[in-house]
Structure 1
C-alpha cells in the first residue's frame, strides 16, 4: 500500500504539470487573440472545485476525472452569443488565429521540456558513463566482439558521453540501419571499432528491452564479498561477523560476489542462515538471522553490514555533465527536437508495422516509471517529466480528429479550399477521431495490464 501511495504521489504532480502547461498554452494564446475564455478545467466531468476569476468571469475548475483537461471558449456553434461579444467568439477568428490557439497547447508542452532540460543541463547532472558489460554468448553484441569494460566513444559519427546519450543515439540510428558502428576504448586505452548487427531487434519490432536483446548492458564491476562496516546491534554484529570477513558460502551455496550475499540475505528475512567466512586465513562457520525489514509492503532481510569498496571507482563509471547558461539552452532545444522527431518516426514505424504496437504505454506504466524515476532522484524525475511532456505534445499533434492535430488538419483544408468544413463533415471526423483515440487507449491499457501480469 505504501508503495502504491508513493507511486501515486510521484505520478499526480507530473500529470498535473503536463495538463496545466498544455491547457494554459491554449488559454494564453486565446486571450492574446481576443477570444473570451469561459472555462479552464483540469479534468473532466462534474467539477469538484471551481472559482470565477477575472473581468470575464472565467471559471477555473477541477473535474472529477483528472486524466486530461480543456479550455472552453466563446463559440457560436456551442450556444447563443451576445451580439456585443461576437467579435470575441472563437469561430469568428481568422483561420491563422484559430491555428495559433490550437497549436499553443502542444507548443507549451515542448517549451516545458526545453525549460526542464535547460535547468538540468545548466545545474549539471551526474550520469553513468557508457561503459559496457560483458555480453551474453551468441548475442549481437558478443558477435560484434564487444568485451566487458569497454566504453563507447561514438555511435556512428555521433560522440557520446553518457549511457543515456549512447542509448538514444543507438536506438535512433538503429531504426533505419541494420549495422551500427561503435567506437570503443577498453581498459588498456586501446581504441577499437565494433560493428553491431541490430537486424534481430528490428525484425522483432523493437518490442521490450531493445538493448538487452542486443546484448548491451551496463558494466558492473566484480565486488568481492568482503565486509567493511558492521552496524552496532545489527544482525551481523549479534552473530559475531567482523569487518574484513570474506564470505565464502551461505547455506553451503558458494558466494562469488557481493550481490550473491545481498540476494541471499534479502530473500531470507528472519530465517537462520549459515555463513562460512574466511577471517585472517582461518575458516569460520557463523549462524546469522537477518532482521525483518518492511520495504514497500514486502518483507526483506537485512544484516546491517556494508561491503568493502573495491573494483572500479565511482569516477570510472560516473560523469558530471554541465553546460554554461547559453549552451545549456541550445542543448535543451536540441534534446527536445531530437526526441520529438524520433517520436514521430517511431509512430510512423508503428503504422507501417516496423515497430510493435506493444511499445505503446498507458497511465499505469507511466505512473510506474514516474515512481521509479522519483526513487532514483530529482534529476531522473525531471528528465522523465520532460520526456512525457514531449510525448504528450507529439500525440496531440497527430492528425486525428478530436486531437489538436485533427483541428489543425481541418484548418489546413480550410486554407486550401478557402471555406470552412461543414458541420456534418466535422461531426463525422470527430466520431472517427474518437473511435481511433479509444482504440489507442485500449491498446495502451492492454499493454499496461500485460506488463503487470507478465512482469
Structure 2
C-alpha cells in the first residue's frame, strides 16, 4: 500500500489535469463531451452531469480520455457513420466537424495543462521554500578529470557553458549532467579576464535522492562553502511564477535532449522506465514526505506533456500534425493515409510500452 497509493495519487493527478485541459478548452470551443474518464476499461463508478457528460473512474488506471461528440473509442478517431447519424444540434457540437483551429487548440490543451501544473507546483515551492544557490566557482579540480585535462583551475568562475549564461553552480551541473560524451565549450573568468576551454563530461553512475541509480555527465569540479557562498533566495508571487516557468522550460529542454540522445544511442536505456518504475519512485517519494511526492507529480506531468506532443498518432502530437497538414493543404488529410499512419503510430506506441515494461521487470 505504501507504493500503490502514492502511485495512484501521482498518476491520477497528472492524468486528470491532462484530460481536464482537453475538456475545458473543448467546451470553451463549443464541442460536446460524451465522457470524461480516469483510467481505461470497465467503469468502476461515475455519474452523468446535466450536459450529458459521463464522468467515470475506470478499472485500468494507466491513463484516461475525453470522448467528444462524434468520436469512436477513446482515441478521438472520427466515426463517419456516427457523424452521419447525428442530429443538427449534435453536428454543431461534433469535434471532427469543428474548424481546424478549434480541434488543434483542444488537443494541444492537454499537454499544455500538464506544463501549467509543473509551473504551478514549482512556483508554490519557490514561494514557500525559496531556492538555495551557490556562486559558480571552482574550489577543487579532481585529478585526471575532464576539467583537469581542459586546464580548469581552482578559483575559476563559470561565465557560460556551451553558450548558455551561468548564474549559479547549479546551472553548470544541470547542463553538464545531461551531456555526457559531448564536447562542451566553457567560458571562465580567471584573474579578471575570460578564457575559453573545451571539456567532455564523462558518464558517472550516482544515486539520486530517491535511491535510483542514474548516469550523469561530470567534469570533475567541486564547489565549497567558502567560494560558493551558498544562500537562500526568497521569491515573491510574481518572481516565484517566473522561476516556475524557467524551471519547467529547463525540464522540457533537458527531457528533449535526453530523448534525442536516447535515439542516437548516447543514453543508457535503463534510464527509461514505465509504470513499475514510476510506482517505485512514488513509494520512495512518499516515504520522504508529501513535498517530495508533489515534486514527482510536477516532473511526471512535464514528461507526460512532452511525450504527448511527439508527432506520433494516436498521441496528441500526431493529431496536431494532421491538423497542421490540413491547415496547409486547406483540406483534410485523406482518410486512407490517416488510417495507415495511425496504425503505424499505434504499433510504435505499443512497442515503446512493451520496451519500458521490459525495462521495468527484466531489462535493468
TM-score interval, smaller chain: 0.7 to 0.9
Unaligned runs of at least 5 residues, structure 1: 186-190, 220-311
CA distance in 1, matches of 2:293, 2:222: 22
Q: Which residue of 2 aligns with 1:168?
A: 174
5 Å-filtered alignment, 1:42-441, equals: 42-53=38-49, 55-75=50-70, 77-78=78-79, 79=82, 80-125=85-130, 127=132, 138-141=144-147, 143=149, 156=161, 158-161=165-168, 163=170, 165-171=171-177, 174=179, 177-181=182-186, 197-198=199-200, 200-201=202-203, 208-211=214-217, 214-215=219-220, 319-441=231-353
1:7 maps onto 2:3 in alignment: yes
Deviation, structure 1 residue 375: 3.6
Bigger Rg over Cα: 1
CA distance in 1, matches of 2:250, 2:117: 15
Higher relative contact order (CA 8 A, sep 6+): 2
Is the 1:155–1:170 Cα contact (8 Å) retained in structure 2? no
Q: 1:211 to 1:420 in 2, by over 3 A?
A: same
CA distance in 1, matches of 2:168, 2:3: 31
**CA-based RMSD:** 3.7
Deviation, structure 1 residue 56: 1.8
Deviation, structure 1 residue 210: 1.5
Query: What TM-score do you get using the length of structure 1 for normalisation?
Result: 0.65
Unaligned runs of at least 5 residues, structure 2: 72-77, 205-212
Q: 1:8 to 1:433 in 2, by over 3 A?
A: same
CA distance in 2, matches of 1:135, 1:199: 13
CA deviation vs aligned residue, 1:340-379 (integer Å, no higher than 9, x gap):
2332233233334444444322122222333333344444
Is the 1:51–1:60 Cα contact (8 Å) retained in structure 2? yes
Q: Which residue of 2 aligns with 1:26?
A: 22
CA distance in 2, matches of 1:371, 1:318: 31
Q: 1:61 to 1:317 in 2, by over 3 A?
A: farther
Q: Indicate the SS of the match to 2:103.
A: helix
Q: Which residue of 2 aligns with 1:275?
A: none
Deviation, structure 1 residue 387: 1.7
Deviation, structure 1 residue 177: 4.9
CA distance in 2, matches of 1:124, 1:182: 32
CA distance in 2, matches of 1:434, 1:400: 8
Q: 1:126 to 1:139 in 2, by over 3 A?
A: same
Is the 2:17–2:114 Cα contact (8 Å) retained in structure 1? yes
Q: Indicate the SS of the match to 1:6.
A: coil
1:16 maps onto 2:12 in alignment: yes
CA deviation vs aligned residue, 1:43-63 (integer Å, no higher than 9, x gap):
00001111111x222100111
Deviation, structure 1 residue 419: 1.4
